[in-house]
Structure 1
């Protein structure tokens, strides 16, 4: 891959990563609840999903999913239902001892956040369809395909980790700092819950 093509890839990846979606909401929620540093676990789960989706596209299975309305709809509705579940769970999370305080999730394990991040991104068939349309423009059929896909995968992951952690996670942490009261934190839980549900509805209706 030439440097000019790589710079184009980098610019496209930045635009994609800065576009708000389920991954951004998940990252901000984690940063709000467990802190900036530990939110990286959810981000790594999201990157694992991106790499799996890239492998699916590289193997040609993405084209099967894109051309099969049934397969696409199954993944789409499962993803929408999962996002809706996350949103409802966040909205209905009870306060400690029944008061207005939000449930303490600061001790959530890294594995739990990783798995949630994995499913948030993996159950999004739009990502596979997008990669099918996006990747061919950066792949030359007459050159080494594994190397090209490796460069593309590393670039996508590096950019997404940077944007998610140094922008969306910091944004979520900023919310935590300006909402010191239990009532304010509770309102943020409801807000992020509604955002999860909104993204799920968009996924279901797309």
Structure 2
């Protein structure tokens, strides 16, 4: 991949990552409940889903998903339902005042955080359609394809990790002062619950 083309890819990747969405909300929520450092596990789960999307598009399956209303809608509504479920659970969560309970929440198993991040991004058919439009701009069919896909995937993943961790997760740290009392926890739970539900509804309604 030519350096000028890679620079264009990196610039597009930055813009994509900074676009608020379910991944950003999930990252900020993890940072608040489990801490800035441990939020990386949810981010890595989101990247695993991103890699799956790239593979799906590279193999041509993405074209089938995008052209099949049934398959597209099944994935879309499943993703929307999952986000709404996360939002309702967050909205109804009770403030943590017991030290042992707070410690358990902060020490959520890394696999649980990884799995949630994976499903948040994986159940988003819009991402497949986006990569169908995005990837061909940076792939030259006359050149070996595998190295190009590897460079594209590595670039997008690294950029998204940096943006999610050092922007969205770090930004959530400014809200941590609200987590020290029941009232603040309740407000944050309501805010992030509504955000998850709103993104889920948008995913279901926007075609």
TM bucket normalised to smaller: over 0.9
Deviation at 1:89, TM superposition (A): 0.3
Map 1:114-153; keep pairs closer than 5 Å: 114-153=114-153
Asked if 1 retains the 8 angstrom alpha-carbon contact of 2:41 and 2:113, the reply is: yes
Asked if 1 retains the 8 angstrom alpha-carbon contact of 2:178 and 2:188, the reply is: no
TM-score for both structures, normalised by structure 1:
0.95
Find the counterpart in structure 1 of residue 61 from structure 2.
61
* Aligned equivalents of 2:178, 2:189: Cα separation in 1: 14
Find the counterpart in structure 1 of residue 82 from structure 2.
82
Find the counterpart in structure 2 of residue 14 from structure 1.
14
* Aligned equivalents of 2:107, 2:92: Cα separation in 1: 19
Find the counterpart in structure 2 of residue 171 from structure 1.
171
* Aligned equivalents of 2:102, 2:187: Cα separation in 1: 9
- What is the aligned length? 204
The worse-fitting range, judged by mean Cα deviation, of 87-96 and 103-112 is 103-112
CA RMSD of aligned residues (A): 1.7
Find the counterpart in structure 2 of residue 70 from structure 1.
70
Moved over 4 A (4+): 101-104
Give the secondary structure class of the aligned counterpart of 1:37.
coil
- Stretches of structure 1 that go unaligned for 5 or more consecutive residues are none
Map 1:34-113; keep pairs closer than 5 Å: 34-96=34-96, 105-113=105-113
* Aligned equivalents of 1:200, 1:104: Cα separation in 2: 28
Deviation at 1:172, TM superposition (A): 1.3
Deviation at 1:108, TM superposition (A): 0.6
